[in-house]
Amino acid sequence: MNVDAYVFTDEDELKEISEAVTQLKNVASLPGIVKAAYGMPDIHWGYGFPIGGVAAFDANEGIISPGGVGFDINCGVRLLKTHLYLSDIENHLEQVIQKLYESVPAGVGSTSKKFNLKDFRNIIENGVKATIGMGFGTPEDLKFIEDNGIITPANMEDISKKAYERGREELGTLGAGNHFVEIQKVVQIFDKKIAEKLGIFENQIVVMIHTGSRGFGHQIATDYIQLMRNNFKNVYLPDKQLIYAPFKSELGQKYFSAMNCAANYAFSNRQIITHYIRKVFKEVFNTSVEIIYDVAHNIAKLETHSLNGETKKLVVHRKGATRAFGPGRKEIPSEYKEFGQPVIIPGDMGTASYLLIGTDESENIAFSSTAHGAGRLLGRRQALRTLQLNDILASLNKKGIIVKSKSKKTIIEEAPDAYKDIDKVIKITDKLRLSKKVAKMIPLGVLKG
């Protein structure tokens, strides 16, 4: 190990995460890593890097690793607010969920509008600004998306034909797995002042979107893992899934560009789905839907951070982790700058989700990073072996949660019992000031693939 490895958890959790801790120690051995490798409170085993893993590398001497980003590049979460109370929607909930089910393509292999080559290039190179120019939203939306919905450099020449073919029909689709659209009710406010500035109040109806770059990002990860293995056969790796390229190398820069293309795709994917949601709420309630914030949680970012009293450019890998900048950072929208960047940490189908904000302390702890979700407790195969569909549906029904899914298998794989206790994850996150909780939401209706 070149640096130490830290895990933010409690004693009870330690015995459940031994494989992930081993992976984190392997990450700490990579060249150019600075300060330490970190495991967030939702840490669990992943490809190469653990999910819930954070590591920063010197931009001049360090590396970039697809395993530190993941296959679903810029899988992320967007939180939308309405002006509706629970009483405005409860008699229309089934109707709204059904209309969303009909409007948002979901499930394995789901497709949407087929984008031509010119429009596709424009989206992946220019992000949400290009998507808005095609009629999916308003310029005001850009302020409330991480990086204003565009990360550069992003050059289509750095992606394969196969990635383009996989991606061109999936923009504006939810996909499957743990991705969802969820209608939620705000049930608890922890910081009234900040909640008011975010436009959040008790019994308010909000909508959460969780999805990423679909097959496009997956193909880019697959392509570059193979290219790196072909080009760096003689590098020592404690785990071959940690294959990397020096960040400043030609291949490292090409992957960075391709990854940014996938990130822009994912931001645009959530933007198009937002457009569909807005149409449904306008039709049913004649009301507007606004973006609170959109965060990425599978990405490598070139950022400036303080290191030993010096400001350094670092390549910060967050895999299953969320950026959590504190007050004053230039990257934060002016409306939020005085109190910090919004952070969205979802539960999964039947459990609570949380809205938090970044803190100054988080910069000193783990490069302004925080948890991204509950974290899996059971693998998907294990869930299929041990959980029963009827029991899951009965439990959700008892809570008054409506579920629409393209697949019964997905409901079992993504059941609440397959995940860690989100309240516990948030308690640790808030106590350590990785981010500070603002509001708690519970699901009313869930759309899954």
Helix or strand or coil: residue 231?
helix
Q: Strand (E) positions, 19-75?
A: 36-44, 51-58, 63-64
Q: What is the CA radius of gyration of the chain?
A: 20
Please tell me the distance from the alpha carbon of residue 132 to that of residue 271, in angstroms, as a whole number: 8
The answer to whether residues 429 and 421 touch, using CB atoms and an 8 Å cutoff, is no
Rounded to an integer, what is the distance from CA 299 to the centroid of its chain? 9
Beta strands 4-7 and 36-44 are parallel
The amino acid present at 9, given as its one-letter code, is T
The amino acid present at 242, given as its one-letter code, is L
Please enumerate in sequence order all residues whose Cβ is within 8 A of that of 114, keeping only pairs 6 or more positions apart, or say none: 168, 169
Helix or strand or coil: residue 226?
helix
The amino acid present at 319, given as its one-letter code, is K
Tell me if residue 372 is catalytic: yes
Q: Strand (E) positions, 134-250?
A: 180-189, 204-211, 245-246
Helix or strand or coil: residue 246?
strand
State the burial class of residue 308 (Cβ atoms within 10 Å of its Cβ: 0-12, 13-18, 19+).
exposed
Cα distance from N-terminal residue to C-terminal residue, the chain: 41
| Residues in a beta bridge with 180 | 210, 448
Beta strands 180-189 and 204-211 are antiparallel
Please enumerate in sequence order all residues whose Cβ is within 8 A of that of 201, keeping only pairs 6 or more positions apart, or say none: 186, 189, 195
Q: Would you state the torsion angle of the CA atoms of residues 392, 396, 402, 403, taken in this order, to the nearest 10 degrees? A: -30
The answer to whether residues 208 and 80 touch, using CB atoms and an 8 Å cutoff, is yes
Q: Which residue in the block uniquely carries the two structure tokens 């504006």?
A: 172
- Residue of 210, 218, 275, 372 marked active site: 372
The DSSP symbol for 428 reads: H
Other residues' Cβ atoms within 10 Å of the Cβ of residue 1: 15
Which residues carry out catalysis?
372
